[in-house]
Amino acid sequence: MLVPQDVIYLYDGSYDGALCCVFEAFRAHERPREIWTEDTAQPSLCQTKQIWTDMEKANRVAAVLRPKISARAEETVASLYWCAVPQKELLMLDFIALGLKEGRRVTTMLGDPVIAAVADAVKHLYKEAHNYKGFVRFSVHDNALAAVIEPKNYVLPLLRNHFCARYRNETFLIYDKTHGAALVYHQGKSEVLPIEKLELPAPDAAEQEVRALYRQFFRTIAIEARENPRCQMNHVPKRYWSQMLELQEDEALLGAPKEPKQLKQRAPQ
């Protein structure tokens, strides 16, 4: 049993580092008040404990998840680390502690507040990754495809297999502006790399022409009489629009604005 303590764990932000925090909590039989990364650390009056990443300790925790709980629980823990949810490290610790107590049924205990919070976070992660499989827009730069995304969660690992299989004969890059990382694929090999900042070159004439044609196609197939902005935002949330070529609010690229609609006046009775 983990006893709550007024102690703060500080780690390097890596997945293995998070597992080391779990290892230390069980070793010391304590549940820390907070688990912070070195980038998010704040001044505090509580005792701070530095947790160094030790692969042996991380592997010992990882090796317990599947046999002691379940394969689904092991996947849930890994997915939770990619989620943009507050206190995800504490959620990870509480989930593992409950899983070691309850066993395989832990992932179905949605009445428990910890399990419900974990399930909601993972559901949001996979939903966002699914959306980006359809919302990523590539442009050609120096004979390579490049796209910029701004997800809330760290979705690049979940997009990797999809885009590598779909564009297996291409060279492409998907830059995650939010998390400072990029999925790079070249000659059948892919890798997720940390990139703090990336500035893509301006599109050349050929790329601008393709963009104009795509926007024209998007406007042409639309049925003006059935235009429904509210429905559109339900299916394509507005936070994705800045990353989608056909929905970017740039008059220089969109061409001449549409003529305002004329309201029909009813004849007097």
Q: What is the DSSP string of 180-210?
A: TEEEEEETTEEEEEE-S---PPPP-HHHHHH
The CA distances from residue 140 to 68, 183, 218, in Å, are: 48, 16, 19
Mean pLDDT computed over 230-242: 79
Lowest mean pLDDT among 4-13, 76-85, 88-97, 197-206: 197-206
Whether 142 shows a pLDDT value over 90: the answer reads no
Query: pLDDT at residue 59 above 60?
Result: yes
pTM of the predicted model as reported, rounded to 2 decimal places: 0.82
Query: Average pLDDT over the chain, rounded to whole?
Result: 87
User: What amino acid occupies position 125?
Assistant: L
| Confidence band for 249, pLDDT divided at 50, 70 and 90 | low
Highest mean pLDDT pick, 113-122, 189-198, 248-257: 113-122
Each as own residue / partner, the long-range contacts of residues 229-238 (CB below 8 Å, 24 or more positions apart, any chain) are 236/135, 237/131
* Residue from 30, 42, 40 nearest 94 by CA: 30
Q: How far apart are CA 131 and CA 248, in angstroms?
A: 17
CA–CA distance, 137 with 134 (Å, rounded to integer): 8
Give the whole-angstrom CA distance, residue 67 versus residue 85.
27
Mean pLDDT of 11-37: 95
Report which listed range, 149-158, 201-210, 214-223, is most confident: 149-158
Question: According to the model, what pLDDT value does residue 206 have?
Answer: 81
The residue ranges of every structural domain in the chain are 3-127, 136-254
Which has the higher per-residue pLDDT, 217 or 107?
A: 107
pLDDT band at 38 (very low <50, low <70, confident <90, very high): confident
Among 47, 51, 50, CA closest to 20:
51
DSSP 8-state symbol, 126: H
pLDDT at 143 over 90: no
Token pair in block for residue 234:
């339900």
Do the Cβ atoms of 122 and 194 come closer than 8 Å? Answer: no
Average pLDDT over residues 228-239: 78
pLDDT tens figures, 174-194: 999 999 999 999 999 999 999
